[in-house]
Structure 1
Amino acid sequence: MFDPYFVTVAVIAVLIVGLSKAGLLGSLGVVGVPLLALVMPARDAAGMMLPVLLAMDAFAVYAYRKEVSWDILRIMLPGAAIGTLIGWALWAFVSDAMVLLFVGIITLLFVLDAILPLRKRLEGLPPSRPWGRFWGAFAGFTSFVSHTGGPPFQIYVLPQRLPPALYAGTAAFFFAIVNTAKLIPYFFLGQLSAHNLALSAALVPVGIGGVLLGIFLVRRISAKYFYRIAYWLVFFLALKLIWDGARGVFGL
């Protein structure tokens, strides 16, 4: 049945992720699954989003195919593989309420990091291999559970002050590889059901449209007031998800 509320939220969520992939909204793409969790189970939202993300990743990889730091990828990807395996191993023990709570906490930490940036305190530190493996693993785990790997990735990469295009290309390749690796676990976990794939197919054009729109708008609008409003909205969204998740986990 056609549900206008579901369609509206799903389109907004995928558009935000698409705009983020284009570099317009920074890390606000992490709110994709939290938004969808308002209208569907959080784990189903993660499964439905994966094919959409892969379509957008393919576009981003092609656009930045000549601008990527393979040194950073060689450091972070082994950790990301470990984080992905941990997420897969723990999936059977994690309820929808736990996922909601986890996504809400990650979203809240993302907002707090934007207000009190840990990344700035890390600037100037050498990009050590163990540090990169740790944040790669964290990014792989959070990406597996809820496609919220952006903040851990940024904590390691942004302090290195890469040229913008090189940063965007490195992020595009990192998440394209991580998302592709999640296909097999998601299939065996039943996240790529016919229902989820049908929703994905309907939303892929929205995601690609968001990427194209972001590329067009990125140099044409001032993001100052948009970010101020957006971060407040994300903050309240995080509090709602934490409350809903805590009620389910702790029986509040």
Structure 2
Amino acid sequence: MINEPIFYLYAIPAVLIFGMAKGGFGGGISVISVPLLAMVSDPVTAAAIMLPLLVAMDLVALWSFRGQYSKQQLAILLPGAVLGVIIGSFGFRYLSEDAIRLLIGVISLAFCANYYLARPRVEAGSTSRAKGGFWGLVAGFTSFGIHAGAPPVNIYLLPLKLDKKVLMGTMAVFFAVINIVKLIPYAWLGQLNSANLWTSLILLPLAPIGVRLGYYLLHRVDEVWVYRLCYFFLMVAGGRLLYQGVVGLIG
């Protein structure tokens, strides 16, 4: 079990932020959690500690949005997402810690660039198996590595203009399935060791608190400033991890 106080100083807000996103508040802000933890631990350990917590959060989210999801969109997204997890499970094992830091940094900064530079309104779109399959695959891959599948899925789902609760319910089912699937390669790669699981257990009470807090805030707080603040810190964390990765690989 990790017992350094500085780790929990970062871990507590990371878990709460991810839980709030699972509860429907802030959406893509969950992408900050693993980069935040990776600032005080190696990125592989950060992702491994988060996974059991995500499964617990998924159960609360499924209950919160029970019966509110789109079977059609899940059927389009999930096959590609499972393939993305498989690609990630075979690819990440061959990357060094510095290479993973570099990858997380690039992905984090790419998400920030998309947030700051994207058009202010999302144009209406229509159901597309090709687009859904592609973004599902991307989501499965980024979800496997740093639990950052929400932004790619949102790129496909948001233009469909689904009812807010149906959107969040679809996301809840999607990630519940993907995170359970991820348990298999994480165990195969030895990431679910006793130290990581004990650390997850210590943080576990925060998981349902974060989800229910996000669900409560969903209709009560303007998300604009939450997004701005979280993406600012994501940019800082991503920049630092990118620098560490480059320096480590060069050195």
Q: TM-score, normalised by structure 2?
A: 0.94
Moved more, 89-98 or 133-142: 89-98
Residue of structure 2 equivalent to 1:203: 203
CA shift at 1:154, angstroms?
0.6
Q: TM-score, normalised by structure 1?
A: 0.93
Alignment deviations for residues 93-148 of structure 1 (CA, whole Å, 9 cap, x no partner): 11111111111111111111112226956x33432111111111110011011101
> In the alignment, residue 130 of structure 1 is paired with which amino acid?
A
Give percent identity, aligned residues only.
Answer: 41
Which whole-Å CA distance do the structure 1 matches of 2:218 and 2:128 have between them? 32
Mapping 1:60-75, distance limit 5 Å: 60-75=61-76
> In the alignment, residue 25 of structure 1 is paired with which amino acid?
G
> In the alignment, residue 13 of structure 2 is paired with which amino acid?
I
Residue of structure 2 equivalent to 1:44: 45
Tell whether the 8 Å contact from 1:87 to 1:144 is kept in structure 2 after alignment.
yes
Mapping 1:1-252, distance limit 5 Å: 2-117=3-118, 120=121, 123-251=123-251
Tell whether the 8 Å contact from 2:126 to 2:159 is kept in structure 1 after alignment.
no
Q: Which runs of 5+ in 2 are unaligned?
A: none
Alignment deviations for residues 138-177 of structure 1 (CA, whole Å, 9 cap, x no partner): 1001101110111111111111110100000000000000
Check 1:29–1:86 CA distance in 2 against 1; reply closer, same or farther (3 A cut). Answer: same
Which whole-Å CA distance do the structure 1 matches of 2:110 and 2:138 have between them? 13
Moved more, 207-216 or 170-179: 207-216
> In the alignment, residue 196 of structure 1 is paired with which amino acid?
N
CA shift at 1:222, angstroms?
3.5
CA shift at 1:233, angstroms?
2.1
Check 1:220–1:129 CA distance in 2 against 1; reply closer, same or farther (3 A cut). Answer: closer
Tell whether the 8 Å contact from 1:56 to 1:208 is kept in structure 2 after alignment.
yes
Tell whether the 8 Å contact from 1:33 to 1:147 is kept in structure 2 after alignment.
yes
Which whole-Å CA distance do the structure 2 matches of 1:210 and 1:38 have between them? 21
CA shift at 1:209, angstroms?
1.2
Tell whether the 8 Å contact from 2:84 to 2:136 is kept in structure 1 after alignment.
yes
Which whole-Å CA distance do the structure 1 matches of 2:27 and 2:205 have between them? 21
CA shift at 1:88, angstroms?
1.0
* Count of residues paired in the alignment: 250
> In the alignment, residue 112 of structure 1 is paired with which amino acid?
A
Tell whether the 8 Å contact from 1:120 to 1:159 is kept in structure 2 after alignment.
no
> In the alignment, residue 131 of structure 2 is paired with which amino acid?
W
Check 1:44–1:71 CA distance in 2 against 1; reply closer, same or farther (3 A cut). Answer: same
Which whole-Å CA distance do the structure 2 matches of 1:219 and 1:130 have between them? 33
> In the alignment, residue 33 of structure 2 is paired with which amino acid?
G
Q: Which runs of 5+ in 1 are unaligned?
A: none
Tell whether the 8 Å contact from 2:26 to 2:226 is kept in structure 1 after alignment.
no
